[in-house]
Amino acid sequence: MRKTVIIFFQGGGGEEDYAADGKLVDSLQSTIGDDYTIHYPRLPDEPVPDFGRIDQIDKAISNSAGDTILAGHSLGASMLLKYLSENELKKKISGVFLLSTPFWSGDEDWKGPLKLKKNFANTVSKDIPIFMYHCTDDEVVPFAHLALYKQHLPWATFREIPSGGHQVNNDLAIVAQDIKSL
């Protein structure tokens, strides 16, 4: 039997962020069980406006085989949602799991390539289950960002986590439970 592949996209950039989110991946792998394999590609920050994330996400998804689940944390989650809203999927995706997802706004030039289009929700497939998680005490991405996503993606499942900060206490048992429910 072929294992389901979970592709997990890191937040931030660089080695420190990759190592920090590696603890999330380790937690997910230890609680999800042997029927799943997690692919955790290193996403370096390239000197282009979107840090090269859209191309990197596209390559990771294109190279996946069989049942695929997508997950992302922080910048990785927001760029994954941007990818899903602006690109046609050529692979079957069983579910999308987004943690501590920033809702980019403001007029700063650097934010432009990170922002979702105004009509992004109209182009996200409603056939793919989307789960969003956010801790009320997130010290990096304000908890209020989850409410913005609730307005745009009312069909998604939202999990408000009472505590855990930006890194969700490095405990993704709730995510594993939701993945297994698919």
C-alpha 9/C-alpha 73 separation (Å) is 6
Please check whether residue 101 lies inside any domain of the structure.
yes
Quick one: which H or E segment has residue 133?
strand 130-135
C-alpha 28/C-alpha 175 separation (Å) is 7
User: Mean pLDDT throughout 60-76?
Assistant: 93
Is the pLDDT at 82 greater than 90, yes or no?
yes
137: which residues sit within 8 A by CB, 6+ positions away?
A: 143, 162, 163, 164, 165
Please check whether residue 106 lies inside any domain of the structure.
yes
- Mean pLDDT of all residues belonging to the chain: 93
Please check whether residue 178 lies inside any domain of the structure.
no
pLDDT at 1: 59
Percent of the chain with pLDDT over 70: 96
Rounded to 5 degrees, φ, ψ at 131 are -120, 135
- pTM for the full predicted model: 0.95
Please check whether residue 59 lies inside any domain of the structure.
yes
Number of domains the chain is built from: 1
User: Mean pLDDT throughout 4-9?
Assistant: 96
Is the pLDDT at 49 greater than 90, yes or no?
no
Please check whether residue 79 lies inside any domain of the structure.
no
97-148 confidence digits (pLDDT tens):
999 999 999 888 888 888 999 999 999 999 999 999 999 999 999 999 999 9
Please check whether residue 29 lies inside any domain of the structure.
yes
Please check whether residue 176 lies inside any domain of the structure.
no
Per the structure, the complete domain to which residue 142 belongs is given by 4-72+85-171
pLDDT at 47: 66
User: Mean pLDDT throughout 70-78?
Assistant: 97
State which amino acid sits at residue 37: T
What CATH number does residue 64 fall under? Answer: 3.40.50.1820
C-alpha 18/C-alpha 12 separation (Å) is 8
Please check whether residue 181 lies inside any domain of the structure.
no
